[in-house]
Structures are given as structure tokens and as C-alpha cells.
Structure 1
Amino acid sequence: MNRSTLPQRFVRSSICLLVCLQLVSSCQDHRPLTPSVLPADVAHAWMQMHIRLTLSTTGYNSIVSNRSFGYAGITMYEAVLPGIEGSTSLLAQIGGNSLTPSKSSEQYYWPESLNAAMASLTRQFFESTSAANLKSIDSLETAYKAHFQVATSPEKLLNAETYGRQVADAIFEWSKTDGGHQAYKNVIDPTYTSPVGPGFWVPTPTASPILPHWGNNRTFIANSAVSSQPGPPTAYSEDPGSAFYAMVNEVYMTSQSLTKTDTITARFWADTPGNLNVPAHATNILSQLLVTTNQDLFKAAAAYARHGIALSDAAVSTLKTKYTYNLLRPFTYIRNVLKKSTWNPVIPTPPHPEYSAAHAVVSAASAAVLEKLFGDGYKFSDNSYASSYGVRSYNTFQEYAQEAGRSRLLGGIHYGPSISTGLTQGAKVGTMVNQLTIK
């Protein structure tokens, strides 16, 4: 299989699944039966656009993308918030300044507010993307605006467009102060020097340290990164009888007995070219669930906001851990201590320290939010790679997070204890995010 075609294949299949089918069915007439029920297709379309842009914009690795999904979700929610009866500003709960429209709620068409807000924010976050991508952003905004003209008056449409842009501009200005502004331009910090010594992480020849100060960024939930920090990793040792040696040996022995299913699992969750990155994959799962359960615009915006905040804060938490302990990767220990000089992992070793396992942290935070949104014991399927790796099904959201975490051991890039710790760490972040009042 030619993996280089996966992004194009994903964009075609996902946008058709999550957007076009809705436009053809529920959105042929965008006038809802009651004022409180509005289709969510515009929210899904913009989130799929966001996923597409993280695939094709230089510098948008998983870490940077986690942050962008956070702000995208918040923007969606704040853009429609005045239309939600009894709602509470999310910005006021996470350190930002709440926004208030100048007119009564009835004077706005809220789908267009979200459309205008997301178009504006997306252009600002992805200012460096290709001309073709920028044209796609314009086209999506224009298409929805034209679509909404049959559903409401020109005055309400203009009011909503103006307010949506105000929301996006305010949130983007606030985002500039969190420590991650334009990080896609400076993924590698040339001034950073990794600590040297036994047990410390050694960057592989093609992997310079990325975003070593990300753990100091402002989180949406105050102190969520600090309060979710785990204790130190297993003490380093080269003694064959030590816990550390056994931990690494598990990775090596697993690599020697991988089944075809194991390899597919490792590659299914891999953050590699051709695949979705970690937050894009998690967000795509959420999109599928929202479409399957037919959530309306307000519920979808609220879900994207809560989930995006969890992804972003989880990334800050795990990067803080990684550059606090700077633990070496299995690649280094297996080659240098176990003397397996030709050993290679199934998937490439990421350019940052091993502990804690970032995929486990982010997936567990995602799972905690999904469990709040859809309930404990909710069975679902992930169709993100239906045409390549196949459909994968889960009995619970915890099962999804655990498989995503274990995939890193199968891939040869993380130790078992780092994955277990990461799952606990991410669940703590998710629990904190779930305390937010989001209707």
C-alpha cells in the first residue's frame, strides 16, 4: 500500500462522511423545526478542515496541533454561546475575558456566527499554510454563508458574521500570550541543550529536541499541568536484575514476537507521515460520534470545546514531564546496553524524551471527556482508516485509550510503565476539564 496517499484518501472519505452526507440530508433545509435545534454540519465541516490543515501545514506536529484544536473548540462554543439558553461563558472559566453581543440573541443566526468565527480563527492559526489551503478556507466560509441565506434574514446573517469575527479575533489575541504562539515556526529550539549522563535521553541522529519548553505554557485549566504531574520514572540501571532492565527487555522481547495484528495496531495509532497526528485522530473520533448520535449545533460546539481543552492541557502536562526527567528511549538502551546494534522500532522514535508516554496522556484525557459526553460503557467504532487499516471497535472509551497507549510499546518507542503512568496522568487532566460548566 502506498502510504503517501492516505492524507488525500482521508480528506475525501472523512469530509464526505461527516459533511457532504449531512448537507444532502438534514441540511437541505437549514431552517430548524424549533429555534433551539440547529444542525451541526457547519461545526463538523470546520473541524474537518482543521484536521486537513494539520495534515498539510508545516510545523503542525501533534504538540502544536493539540493547542490549535483547543482554541478551535473554544472559538466554536463562544461563537454560539449567546444562543444557548442558560449558558455560561467558557472564557471566563479558563482565564480569558467573556464576550457579550450588542444585540439580543434573536437578532443573530448562530450557525453563521460559528462559520465566520472559524473562518477567521483558521486563517490566523494557519497563516503559513499553502495558497490552495487558504483558498479552501475561503471557499468553505463562502459556501456556508450562501447556504444560510435561505434560512434567515440578511440582517441576522450580518449580525452573526460580525459577532463571530469579533469572537475569533479576541480569542486569537488571547492565544498569543500562552507561550505557544506561532510555535510551528520554531519547533526546534537551537538554544536547548539536553542533559548528558547515564539514563538521559539521547536524540536520535535525525531527531533534534522539539518544543522543550512547551511544558511551561499556560494551560486552559489553571495549574492542570502541574497538578497532574506523576512521580519520577523507574530508576535507571543497567543491571540485568533491575526493574529498568526488565522494563526495556519487555519492549525488546515484544518486538521479537509481534503478530500482524500487533504491527497494524502500532501503525494505526502511529503519528507518522500519512497518518492523522494524535489530536487530529482523537478529534476525528469525536466527530464520528457526534454525527452518529445526531447532536445539534450547540451540543457539538460544546463537545469540541471540552475535548479540545483536554487535548491541549494534556499535551502541556506530558511535555512538562518529559523535559523534567529526560528519560532515554528504548532505541538507545536496546542498542547500547542490550547490544542489539541493528534493532529498530516498528515506528520512528519521536524527537523528545520518553517519559511519560504522550499518546497515552492525550488519549486518556480524550477518553475521559468522551465518557462524560456519551456515557460509561458506550460502544463505538473508529472509521478513520476504514480503507487502509480497517475499522476498529471498542467497548468503552477507556479501551480506546488503553489500546492507543499500548500501541507505543508494540511500536517499540515506549516502556510499559511510562504508558500506564501516562494513562493515569491524562485521566487526571480529563477529570479536571470535565469540571467546566459547558452546556
Structure 2
Amino acid sequence: MHRLSNWSMGLLAVLALAGCRRAPEEISSKESNRAVLEWSSISGAIVPPVFGGFVPHSREVALTHVAMHDAINSIRPRYETYGPPVAASPEASPEVAAIAAAHDMLVRLHPERQAELDERYSTSLAAFPDSPRKTEGIQVGKAAAAQLWNLRADDRANDAPTYVAPSPAQGVWRQVPPWSEQGLHPNTFMGQWSGVRTWSIQSAAEFRCPPPPAFTSELFVRDVEEVRRLGARTGAVRTQDQTDAGLFWAPITPSSLAIDVGHAMATRKGLDLVDTARALALGSMAGADAMIVNFNSKQAYNFWRPITVIREGSSGVTADPTWVPFLDTPPNQEYPAGHTQLSSAVLNTYAQLFGSEPFAEPLVLRTVQGKERSFSSFQQMVDDVVLARVVGGMHFRNSGAVGAEWGRRIADWVTSHSLQPKAN
């Protein structure tokens, strides 16, 4: 028998060691998406305690989900990251990295809740045994969160509002009840948001909606009369299902929609850790960009709300000074419909990822108040939001239709330009 040389013995030892190390693909197949879903839910529950907190919440949810995505894909590089990938070993735990990234981002956003977040963090990490893999995952997550925080530090979300409300006139927005009746005139309501730096699209102006119809047009008069009939608090002719739609969508924010629907689809499709993180990051980015575009369009056109035109009257519209909408009207401009545009951006993002055909089985959404509504497709959800804002008495149908279309365009851009699959 020939004796092996020292060089050969060394080579065999290296090959044996390599054979014992699991390939990233093998490890990835066993990595659960539970960490992403858990911290996604945590981010959804922490809404900024300010008037109109759902607006900055869209940014916070995007920050948290993109941080998790970048941390995971720095270790499992299946998709392009938002920022440059952070230094990471393939042996680092991407699940732990996601936990650390989300925790650190949320602590930066909400230092007043650090004790609570630290407790959740310790509980989440306790599910993973102490090891170099865990330690490296923590380091990657922290680095991804810090990098994204620095990349978005100058996005102008914290600038002082510069928007100035226009002088009252026919067709022009002015503050409405209940805000005006309570002596509240937030004419600068989150006014800075029209200038916040976008996430994926190049600029808000690029996706600004076209002008609203003239308030003397047949389309506008038709829309006013529809809101007058369906959206009145008393004497309306809406059906029970239309009433239910208005009440159901009122408390749902686009950020919560991105999380709830994203979680449902990740579960239905059996997505792994990497694909779950990407889907939620894209959904939250689309919603955040749609929020910016919507404020930009609203401030560009300053279009009046149904309550104003119905009470005052205009060409072709008979005044009814006692008319009251079914639901309170938000304190900003009417066109385009915000909830519709943002929801459409989120839902069409998921339609791009998971398919636009009808669901194999209905998807049931629930509000925090316990209300449920069942849907057979993403498009049915979008159509339901359009209807809900009309029967709520706060938006015209055309505003919802235009918002939905431009939300879809935002989704198309986000899904085709951001977090793309890496070339092999």
C-alpha cells in the first residue's frame, strides 16, 4: 500500500471538512419565516402616537421590512438589497439577522418603547441556541439596520410642513367638519409628506395623477349625486353590504393591509424565509411610495370634498346645507382617493408576485374591531375600497378609480425595479 503524502493527507482533511459544512442552499431550505412574520407583526402594531399616525407608519413599516430583507439577503443573496449588502458569512443565521435588524430599527424609531422591544428581542433570540452562527446573525442584522437608517436619514419625513392652504373658492378644498367645527384647522396635515424621498419610484411628481374633472363636468355632477345618495349618514339608499364595506375599510391602513395580506399569502404559498421577507418589503415599499405620491397629487390640485360641494352647491349640483356624510371626512384634500391609491399599490404588488387570478379559496381579512370580510381576488379588494370611500361619503368614484390606477402603476414599477433576483 502506498503511503499518502503530507500534502495529500492535508487535502483530504480539507475536503472532509468541506463536506461537513452545509451549503447555503441546504441551510436555507430549513430556515423558517417565523422570525420575519413575528417582527413584521410587531412593526405593524407600533403606530406613531401623533395625529394622522398612519402616514409616518407607512415609512416605519417600510424601514423595518427592508432592514429585515437586506439583512437576510446579505447572508442568503437571492435578491438585490436596497442598500449595499453588509459583510456576512454564509454560516450566519439569517433568521437571527432578521430579528436583530427589525429590533434595532424599531428602537431607533421608538426609543420610548425600548424596554418592551428589548424584552421581545430576548424572547425571540432565546429560540436559537448560542453559537457563532447566532452571534454572526446578530452582527449582520444590526449592521443592516444601521446602514438603512443612515441611507434614509435625509428623506425629509421630519421636515416642517411648508404647504399653505389655498383661498376658499368653488372647486377648491377647505377644511371640513368635524375638524372645522371643533376649532381644528390642520391645513398643514402632514404637509411635508408630498416631498418625502421615495423608496423605489424616481419621484412623486413622475407618478402624479392627472388633474381631476372640472367641477362643471357631467362626470363630476354624476359623482356628486352618487355620493349624496349612497354616502349620507341618514336617508341613504345603500345596501347593508355597502354599509358593511364602508365600516370595514375605515380602520384599515395600507401598512396593516400590506402586513395582513402579505402574511396570508406567504402562508398560503409556503414561502421560505427569503421570499417572505422580499414580499413584505416590496408591499411596504409600494405602500410607502403611494403615500408620498398621494400627498403630492392632493396638494397639486387642492380638490374639494363631497361635504363641501353638496352643502354649498355648484353648477348642476343643488345645495343641501344639512347633508352629513356617513363617516367623518379626513382633514385633507379629496383627489385622488388616498386609501384607494395606497391599497391598490399594496394589493397590485402582491398580484404581481402571486398572480392576479381568483384565489383558490377566499381570503378573509379581519379588522382589530373583529369585523370580517371575504374576498376572491386582489382586484375585488381594490374595487371594495373604491366603493367603501364612496359610501363613506368622503370621496367621489372617479377619485377612487384614478387612485387605484396610479396605485397599480406604482406597484408595477416597484416589482420590476426593486429587490430583483440576483443574476446567477
Normalising by structure 1, report the TM-score. 0.81
Unpaired segments of 5 or more residues in structure 2? Answer: 1-23
- The equivalent of 1:370 in structure 2 is 350
Q: Which residue of 1 aligns with 2:173?
A: 201
1:146 — aligned with what?
Answer: 126
Q: Deviation digits for residues 24-82 of structure 1, max 9, x if unmatched?
A: xxxxxxxx99401211111111111111111x733562221222222122111001112
Give distance in 2, aligned partners of 1:249 and 1:376.
Answer: 33
In structure 1, the residue matched to 2:206 is 227
**Considering only aligned residues, what root-mean-square deviation do their CA atoms show, in Å?**
2.3
CA displacement at 1:316 relative to structure 2: 0.9
- Listed as ranges, the matches of 1:3-42 within 5 Å are 34-37=26-29, 38-42=31-35
Give the Cα separation in 1 of the matches to 2:258 and 2:224. Answer: 28
Counterparts of 1:339 and 1:389, CA distance in 2: 35
Give the equivalent residue in structure 2 for 1:66.
Answer: 58
Q: 2:341 aligns with which of 358, 361, 369?
A: 361
Partner SS state of residue 147, structure 1: coil
Q: Which amino acid aligns with 1:104?
A: S
Picking from 83, 107, 111, the partner of 2:95 is 111
- Aligned counterparts of 2:46 and 2:132: Cα–Cα separation in 1: 32
Q: 2:42 aligns with which of 45, 49, 53?
A: 49
- Secondary structure, counterpart of 1:179 in structure 2: coil
Residue equivalent to 1:418: 399
2: CA distance between counterparts of 1:242 and 1:372? 35
- Provide, for residues 111-146 of structure 1, a one-character-per-residue CA deviation record: whole Å limited to 9, x for no partner: 111111100101111235xxxx54331121111111
The letter of the residue matching 1:212 is G
Three-state SS of the structure 1 residue aligned to 2:363 is: strand
Q: Distance in 2 between matches of 1:385 and 1:250?
A: 27
Match of 1:327 among 292, 295, 303: 303
Q: Which has the larger radius of gyration?
A: 2
The corresponding residue for 1:405 is 386
Counterparts of 1:30-429 in structure 2, within 5 Å, are 34-37=26-29, 38-54=31-47, 57-59=49-51, 61-91=53-83, 98-101=84-87, 103-106=88-91, 108-128=92-112, 133-149=113-129, 153-181=130-158, 189=161, 192-204=164-176, 205=180, 206=184, 208-209=186-187, 210-237=189-216, 242-255=218-231, 256-270=236-250, 275-337=251-313, 338-379=318-359, 380-385=362-367, 388-390=370-372, 392-429=373-410
Identity of aligned residues (%): 21
TM-superposition CA deviations, 1:275-306 (whole Å, max 9, x none): 34332133212112212333211111111111
1:425 CA drift (Å): 0.7
Q: Is there any run of 5+ residues in structure 1 with no aligned partner, and where?
A: 1-31, 92-97
Please state how far the C-alpha of 1:421 moved relative to its aligned partner: 0.6
SS in 2 for 1:393: strand
More displaced 10-residue stretch of structure 1: 299-308 or 224-233: 224-233
Cα deviation, residue 86, structure 1: 4.3
Residues 1:243 and 1:397: Cα distance change in structure 2 (over 3 Å): closer
* Alignment length (residue pairs): 379
Equivalent pair of 1:72/1:308 in contact (CA under 8 Å): no
SS in structure 2 of the partner of residue 406 of structure 1? helix
Whole-angstrom distance in 1 between the partners of 2:51 and 2:368: 27
Alpha-carbon separation, structure 2, partners of 1:360 and 1:417: 11
